[in-house]
């Protein structure tokens, strides 16, 4: 059995080297197209035939590492956060969906709090960028603040600008 396990480990290592599809070149407008996207929800411990997990897989494919999940306690907290394992995965850059869990009765408020917090962080970052406009360069600040982020290509370009910002802040 040990040799079989080693052979399967070798197969997994090979499988993990197969390149993924470029998200910016995949057509999201059909269910078929979405299946060419990397899932960031894999191998859950849900019951056989569970109808919930395919939707989470699809959400992870559509929104990738930008997905934020405010989970309500129930089956989804068992198959979605059954530590020490989790079906939520990360991409090759080490980024993945954010997932947190609350009790049933406050889940709407919990999710709203996550959204309000994200909006507040965005506003604070915008204010800090504006304050550092001269030190960082006006064009970089303008691009960071005004760049559209509707498509995968636009999001990738914004992440490149954020990396440039981080490099300038470390100097």
* Angle at the Cα of 9 from the Cα atoms of 7 and 14, rounded to 5 degrees: 95
Identify whether 84 is part of a domain.
yes
pLDDT for the residue numbered 134: 96
- How many domains does the chain fold into? 1
Q: Is residue 30 part of a domain?
A: yes
**String of DSSP letters for 84-125:** T--SB---TTS---EEEEE-GGGHHHHHHHHHHHHHHHHHHH
Within a domain: residue 130? no
pLDDT digit string (tens) for 57-110?
999 999 999 999 999 988 998 898 888 889 999 998 999 999 999 987 899 999
Q: Is the residue at 58 inside a domain? A: yes
Residue 44: φ, ψ to 5°: -75, 160
**Inside any domain, residue 145:** no
Domain that holds residue 36: 2-106
């Amino acid at each position: 059995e040990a040799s079989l396990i080693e052979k399967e480990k070798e197969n997994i290592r090979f499988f993990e080297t197969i390149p993924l599809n470029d998200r910016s070149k995949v057509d999201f407008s059909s269910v078929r197209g979405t299946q060419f996207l990397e899932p960031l929800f894999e191998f859950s411990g849900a019951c056989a035939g569970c109808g919930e997990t395919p939707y989470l897989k699809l959400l992870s494919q559509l929104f990738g590492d930008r997905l934020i999940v405010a989970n309500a306690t129930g089956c989804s907290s068992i198959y979605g956060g059954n530590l020490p394992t989790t079906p939520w995965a990360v991409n090759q850059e080490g980024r993945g969906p954010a997932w947190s869990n609350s009790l049933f009765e406050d889940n709407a408020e919990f999710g709203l709090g996550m959204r309000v917090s994200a909006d507040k962080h965005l506003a604070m970052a915008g204010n800090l960028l504006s304050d550092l406009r001269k030190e960082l360069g006006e064009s970089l600040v303008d691009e960071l603040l005004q760049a559209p982020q509707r498509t995968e290509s636009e999001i990738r370009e914004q992440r490149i600008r954020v990396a440039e910002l981080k490099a300038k802040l470390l100097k």
